[in-house]
């Protein structure tokens, strides 16, 4: 039994190719779990299938093989419990910021009065600091403000899970930074479970509890799960001062530069590790490798007993 809210079990995505050719396998043997309230980021090079995975979690695409289980149920289509924030904001251009959020709120709460819908939509526009701009159309808003409307719209339906596909990648560095702060403060209030794609290592270190490292395609897979070893109360301004910052950052950069390529095409895949990719904790003292076969751990397992029993070892 697992306590995960989201389980991806043996996902694969294959596309048919020309006659006589084997199908193109974008990814296969993809396994991961995300716990209630966890913030997981996935990092991997372009084309390895990250957006396909996110869309499958959203119920907007399907995997060729495998199962996605959310809250004990198979994902079979979109749900208001899983909101998506896309890279482009995907706003209705003819509606104001408020109108865009109200549309989402009224799809969730069909029995609410106009006044109730408006009040609820304004609450979420306030949360992302858009009060005062609520009557502007998307064309009158900056890129950062449009993305804020997208975030307010997704949050306003109070989904159990937030799925974000490189939500800040089209924004300048300053706007990106302030939106990252906003996501952190909103998340502190809402305690949502979040799955986010990024190609920015620093963004992942600031936001995520754990980072899924994906190999290059074809036959991409999750090669490793990196635990964020920075303190939970971290901010953009003090992140780099922590002793674990560079070990954590270097570990991920090294993966993206070297190992993601070496492991492409399914190379180096150990059968026992496919289902439970290795979990690692990079710290100033070195990178420890955390045993993943949780089911075999005794209930009273602690860090000290794990160490004695060899369940936690230096990599
Ligand atoms: N209809 C299709 N036929 C063949 N390959 C496709 C098709 N649609 C998508 N792909 C391939 O699937 C891969 C994964 O795409 P995507 O999920 O967008 O990757 P990412 O988000 O990691 O950049 C890409 O390499 C793309 O070329
Ligand atoms: Mg993508």
Which ligand has an atom closest to residue 215 CA?
Answer: 1
pLDDT confidence bin for 1, thresholds 50/70/90: very low
User: What's the confidence (pLDDT) of residue 73?
Assistant: 94
Contact predicate 35/3, CB 8 Å: yes
Arithmetic mean of pLDDT over the chain: 88
Q: How far is the CA of 200 from the centre of ligand 2 (A)?
A: 13
- Give 39-54 pLDDT, tens digit per residue: 999 999 999 999 999 9
pLDDT of residue 298: 41
Question: According to the model, what pLDDT value does residue 179 have?
Answer: 85
Mean pLDDT confidence for 93-119: 96
Q: How much is the pLDDT for 304?
A: 37
Where residue 10 falls among pLDDT bands split at 50, 70, 90? very high
Give the residue, 314 or 267, on which the prediction is more confident.
267
Share of the chain above pLDDT 90, in %: 68
pLDDT of residue 118: 97
Beta carbons within 10 angstroms of residue 131's beta carbon: 13
State in Å: Cα 308 to ligand 2 middle. 42
- Which pLDDT does position 293 carry in this prediction? 52
pLDDT value, residue 303:
39
Under the banding of pLDDT at 50, 70 and 90, the label for residue 112 is: very high
Q: With CA atoms as reference, report the closest residue to 70 among 19, 36, 112.
A: 36
Question: Which ligand 1 atom sits nearest the alpha carbon of residue 46?
Answer: 23
Pocket test for ligand 1, best of 25, 26, 87 (most atoms within 8 A of CB): 26
Compute the distance from residue 170 Cα to the ligand 2 centre, in Å: 13
Give the pLDDT confidence of 115-141 residue by residue, as tens digits: 999 999 999 998 888 999 999 999 999
pLDDT in tens, 222-264: 999 999 999 998 988 999 999 999 999 999 999 999 999 999 9
| pTM for the whole structure | 0.88
Q: Which ligand sits nearest to residue 16's alpha carbon?
A: 1
Is the CB of 64 within 6 Å of ligand 1?
no
The position carrying tokens 């004990």 is 72
- Closest ligand to C-alpha of residue 55 is 1
In the chain, which residue ranges form alpha helices assigned H by DSSP?
50-58, 97-108, 114-127, 143-156, 173-190, 201-207, 245-254, 260-262, 271-275, 303-308
């Amino acid at each position: 039994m697992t306590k995960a809210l989201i389980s991806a079990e043996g996902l694969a995505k294959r596309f048919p190719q020309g006659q006589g050719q084997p199908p193109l396998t974008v990814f296969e043997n993809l396994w991961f779990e995300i716990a209630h309230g966890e913030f997981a980021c996935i990092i991997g090079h372009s084309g390895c299938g990250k957006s396909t995975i996110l869309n499958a979690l959203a119920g907007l695409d399907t995997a060729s093989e495998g199962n996605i289980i959310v809250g004990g149920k198979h994902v079979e289509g979109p749900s208001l419990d899983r909101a998506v924030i896309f890279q482009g904001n995907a706003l209705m251009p003819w509606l104001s910021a408020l109108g865009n959020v109200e549309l989402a709120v009224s799809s969730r709460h069909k029995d609410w009065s106009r006044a109730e819908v408006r009040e609820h939509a304004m609450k979420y526009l306030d949360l992302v600091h858009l009060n005062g701009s609520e009557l502007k159309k998307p064309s009158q808003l900056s890129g950062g403000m449009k993305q804020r409307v997208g975030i307010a719209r997704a949050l306003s339906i109070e989904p159990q899970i937030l799925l974000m596909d490189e939500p800040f990648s089209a924004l300048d560095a300053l706007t990106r930074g302030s939106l990252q702060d906003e996501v952190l403060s909103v998340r502190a209030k809402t305690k949502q479970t979040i799955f986010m794609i990024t190609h920015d290592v620093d963004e992942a270190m600031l936001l995520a509890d754990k980072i899924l490292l994906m190999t290059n395609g074809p036959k991409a897979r999750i090669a490793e799960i990196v635990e964020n070893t920075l303190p939970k109360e971290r901010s953009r301004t003090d992140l780099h001062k922590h002793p674990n910052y560079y070990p954590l950052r270097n570990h991920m950069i090294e993966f993206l530069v070297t190992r993601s390529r070496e492991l492409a095409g399914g190379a180096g895949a150990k059968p026992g590790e496919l289902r439970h990719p290795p979990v690692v904790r990079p710290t100033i003292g070195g990178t420890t490798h955390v045993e993943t076969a949780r089911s075999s751990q005794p209930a009273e397992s602690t860090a000290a007993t794990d160490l004695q029993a060899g369940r936690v070892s230096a990599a």
